[in-house]
Amino acid sequence: MKRCHVLWALFLWAISAVAQETAKPVELRAFATYGYNYTWEHYGNFDFLVRVPLNRHFELDAAAELSTANLYTLSADARPLFPLTVGELYIDTRLLYRAVVRNRMHELSASLGLGYRMDYVDVQLGVYTRSMFEFNRDWHSEDEIVTEPFGFLYSIEVFVRPQSSNWNLSFRISDTDDFQIERMWQPLFMIGGRYSPTERLSVLMQAQCKPTGMFHLNASFYGAQFRAGISYKL
């Protein structure tokens, strides 16, 4: 137990050291989520995310999600940045792993996107691929791996106020979020809110709706979730 405490203290010290040497602070986020869909029915999630700006031209994201639906997700994102006169361009390179324990299945996704973000908008276009395989597969055989063809990734998010404001609202349509990459015809509709009582601390809320059949002219409700959390900048 003492060894765990020492390792955790070293981890926090390392993050703080990086935060002091970068133009932007390291950001830690934690969320609690309630959701419902026709597959898992009622479920809850606990989400943990960290963003580390290594310098003005590069940042790293890491995230983990624990779900009462017996799913566990890890995500890693390396993001080169190209500052412009207004806003910045970025390349989004992401790996996402999900252990679907309830169905004894692994899911591995990778995506590559080109984006632009500024005070009032964040837009991204890209491609992704996904592979699925069972827990007890024979690792010397590729017959038991199901790989989807490359899909189209997109995201459009609009903000009502500048990012420097102490509160903001956003509206987003995308086929991806922090812990999932959906097929292009399965968009996610999201409304987000942020209130920052101090420069370091923010309260975050987000509502998400996932319809099915959107691009087949037969849209119907599939699932929804609501999450609330906090953000702290070191």
Q: What is the pTM of this model?
A: 0.83
pLDDT of 10: 52
pLDDT of 145: 80
Question: CB pairs under 8 A, 24+ apart, for 66-73?
Answer: 67/43, 68/43, 68/44, 69/40, 69/43, 69/102, 70/100, 70/101, 70/102, 71/98, 71/99, 71/100, 71/101, 71/102, 72/98, 72/99, 72/101, 73/97, 73/98, 73/99, 73/179, 73/180
* Other residues' Cβ atoms within 10 Å of the Cβ of residue 35: 20
pLDDT tens series, the chain, 234 aa: 555 555 555 555 555 555 455 558 999 999 999 999 999 999 999 999 999 999 889 999 999 999 999 999 999 999 999 999 999 999 999 999 999 998 889 999 999 999 999 999 999 999 999 998 888 776 666 667 888 888 999 999 999 999 889 999 999 999 999 999 988 888 999 999 999 999 999 999 999 999 887 666 667 889 999 999 999 999
Closest CA to 64 of 40, 46, 77, 52: 46
pLDDT of 215: 67
pLDDT of 14: 53
pLDDT of 223: 94
